[in-house]
Structure 1
């Protein structure tokens, strides 16, 4: 763990530190479940179900701006991923954020998208949306074509 990142984390207000600790715990849970179980079973076990209504769910138009708790969850997951003693990829971050948002009474969506890289290989990305806001995975997300959505 990078010592300067740890020092910065210790300078956070207590509430934000605890949120980052929760984020780290949710990252560990999502990493373990996704590594140990087949994907479909893992998502069901985590309480995320495939949205079959439209195939690709989108947030309702005209929805109110994201509440502060939604934005804080995204920040906490990014902080936790930066200090995690394991590599926390976009899928684990998206699932961790969805779990944290559900704990706070919010409905979240975990989106999956694919694209082809410059060599023609398919690459994938996952991101979380809640209340019309991208919570995790926003960086580079525009390159990916959404293929499925899991909802809390």
Structure 2
């Protein structure tokens, strides 16, 4: 734990700010998922049941998007609450939209290999060609819905 704190202290101030913003936003999104309907949470987004076209990002936008994704992934590992893929995707959407970076998040489903009668769900966020959150194993899921946002 001490080595992680030392590493954190040596991070550039911008990365520390992103980490704290992601940490707080993950808490807000977790609380929102427990208390607000999903439809209400996503009403400001463009909804499509199919794949969205990928928006090309500038180098600067892509670098910012990657930094946001890394901050969310890092912060999610340290929250005392569950910060699963959906909370991470909603957090990414809010943080990226705040920075004027367009993107999409996907909701997918797949059969549970352990119990064939059950389904499992997953959410992941993408900006340009880069998957920022939830990328690990997303290929196993069939996309059910896509939620996109443009530059603010």
1:56 partnered with 2:53? no
| Per-residue deviation, residues 33-90 of structure 1 (Å, max 9, x unmatched) | 111012111222xx33423xxx2233338x3576200110110000110111211000
Kept after mapping to 2: 8 A contact 1:59/1:131:
no
1:124 partnered with 2:121? yes
**How high is the TM-score relative to the length of structure 1?**
0.86
Distance 2:18 2:104 in 1: 20
1:115 partnered with 2:114? no
**How high is the TM-score relative to the length of structure 2?**
0.86
Aligned to 2:80, the other structure's residue is in SS state: coil
Kept after mapping to 1: 8 A contact 2:30/2:82:
no
- Residue in structure 2 matching 1:136, options 133, 139, 148: 133
Aligned alpha-carbon RMSD (Å) = 1.9
Aligned to 2:77, the other structure's residue is in SS state: helix
Q: Which residue of 2 aligns with 1:19?
A: 18
Structure 1 residue runs of 5 or longer lacking an equivalent are none
The alpha-carbon deviation at position 123 of structure 1 amounts to 0.1
The alpha-carbon deviation at position 4 of structure 1 amounts to 4.6
Aligned to 2:42, the other structure's residue is in SS state: helix
Distance 1:3 1:86 in 2: 22
1:101 partnered with 2:100? no
Distance 2:3 2:111 in 1: 36
Q: Which residue of 2 aligns with 1:87?
A: 82
Structure 2 residue runs of 5 or longer lacking an equivalent are none
* Deviation beyond 4 Å, 4+ runs, structure 1: none
Matched residue count:
145
